[in-house]
Amino acid sequence: MNQPAPPGTKKSSNVVWCATHVSRADRERLNGHRGAVLWFTGLSGSGKSTISSAVESRLHQLGCRTYVCDGDNIRHGLNGDLGFSPADRVENIRRIAEVAKLFLDAGMIVLTAFISPYRADRAKARERMPRGDFIEVYCRCPLEVCERRDVKGMYRRARAGEIKEFTGISAPYEEPEAAEIVLNTDERSQEECVDAVIRYLRQTGVVAAELP
Amino acid sequence: MNQPAPPGTKKSSNVVWCATHVSRADRERLNGHRGAVLWFTGLSGSGKSTISSAVESRLHQLGCRTYVCDGDNIRHGLNGDLGFSPADRVENIRRIAEVAKLFLDAGMIVLTAFISPYRADRAKARERMPRGDFIEVYCRCPLEVCERRDVKGMYRRARAGEIKEFTGISAPYEEPEAAEIVLNTDERSQEECVDAVIRYLRQTGVVAAELP
């Protein structure tokens, strides 16, 4: 009931239509920065979680309102009913995009850290957002390097056939063709990667250029 | 990857495990208030949307970080794939609770405005949140009054049989038995209802008592 009452609508004498409504712009003014979606994508082990978390820390230190959506808080909660079938993977990304859109509307800088291997799914997520608010961050790292890191032991299990349809091994990863930010995580330090993201946010006015 | 690396985990020389991680407490410190879920429930036309929107406006004026989840932004987005069957209604509320939990973790005061007619669903939502963070706000209003208001013309259509399983007419509404806040919206003005919610938030320390 955020709209004015349609003409001819009956009202109770006690409940008055409330046209005042807090908008995204109001929240952004209060926050002192614009909302944005930083959509991290890349192979398992390419640094999505690590770098998104480090970017969040830096933004938080700058006084920005931030939130990271990752496997920890999404797969165990909202998307706990989904598996890894093709249909479930599509639905997984769809819901993440919708949640990111809510946080964007709340005036926050939301960072999503999921492999999100399919171009079509990422394109759909982008299309759901107002133009310019969706910032694709590609954590580019050769498969051999990710596999050598094998932080969670997943590649070993995928090679052993214990995990089916593992991205990069037995399922495709479709590289972004025009990501706003490309981080070569095997060549750059975490610090340099974080700097690159923050620089982008300043250049595009998400975060004020004059912040420390 | 927000946890420290488990012992014996291999690391790339470039990607350092990042134990610094922005917590809910960090975000609450930045915001200057606690996170909370204000879960509005009540019949269609009982004032949930109007009052939650007015509460949000007041909180925003106090400098609080807020967001309202309602039919407008949830039913058309995240839950756009759901209908009104019993199973879909359960899933609708489950997802809303999970989204509210994410906003809570983000340190925000999130207000949800859905009929949410079943006790079991509301209880499940409550159980998903840390104790004390789920605040049930019952907009109590006699069916006759809601039906007389009939803001969206839904009761008329439900009586005419055009809408099936309409809460209060052809589907049950299970009243809360121990809501934290009960608003008799047919007897109190919008202003009084908003005051009651803000008073509760001050008394329970969600919002600092000394704020204007």
Q: How far is A172 from chain B (nearest CA, A)?
A: 23
Establish if B69 belongs to a structural domain. yes
Contact criterion met (CB below 8 Å) for A2 and B49: yes
pLDDT of residue B29: 97
Quickly count: other Cβ atoms within 10 Å of residue B196's Cβ.
18
Give the whole-angstrom CA distance, residue A201 versus residue A193.
13
Contact call for A10 and B70, based on CB within 8 A: no
Contact call for B16 and A50, based on CB within 8 A: yes
Give the whole-angstrom CA distance, residue B60 versus residue B51.
14
Establish if A19 belongs to a structural domain. no
Establish if A211 belongs to a structural domain. no
For A67, the closest of B69, B72, B106 (CB atoms) is: B106
Calculate mean pLDDT across residues B15-28: 75
Domain tally, chain A: 1
pLDDT at A211 over 90: no
- By residue range, what is the domain housing residue A100? 24-203
Q: What angle do CA A10, A14, A17 make, to 5 degrees?
A: 60
Q: What is the pLDDT of residues B93-143, one digit of tens each?
A: 999 999 999 999 999 999 999 999 999 999 999 999 999 999 999 999 999
Contact call for B10 and A103, based on CB within 8 A: no
Catalytically annotated residues of A: 116
pLDDT of residue A7: 37
Contact criterion met (CB below 8 Å) for B192 and B154: no
Q: What is the pLDDT of residues B179-202, one digit of tens each?
A: 999 999 999 999 999 999 999 999
Establish if B12 belongs to a structural domain. no
- DSSP string for residues in B29-57: HHHTS--EEEEEE--TTSSHHHHHHHHHH
For B150, the closest of A10, A67, A149 (CB atoms) is: A10
What pTM did the predictor assign?
Answer: 0.90
> What is the residue whose two structure tokens read 């996170």?
B35
Contact call for A95 and B101, based on CB within 8 A: no
Phi and psi, residue A85, nearest 5°: -65, 160
Cβ-Cβ contacts under 8 Å, B20 against chain A: 53-54, 57
Greatest Cα-to-Cα distance within chain B, rounded to the nearest angstrom: 70
In this structure, which amino acid lies at residue A195? D
Query: Could you give the ipTM of this predicted complex?
Result: 0.89
Quickly count: other Cβ atoms within 10 Å of residue A212's Cβ.
5
C-alpha distance across the termini of chain B, in Å: 41
Establish if A210 belongs to a structural domain. no
Looking at the DSSP bridge assignments, the partners of residue A113 are A40, A70
Establish if A209 belongs to a structural domain. no
Cβ-Cβ contacts under 8 Å, B151 against chain A: 1, 5, 9-11
Establish if B6 belongs to a structural domain. no
CA-closest candidate to residue A92, choices A49, A63, A121: A121
> What is the residue whose two structure tokens read 């949140």?
B129
Contact criterion met (CB below 8 Å) for A190 and B18: yes
CATH code at position A73? 3.40.50.300
Establish if B211 belongs to a structural domain. no
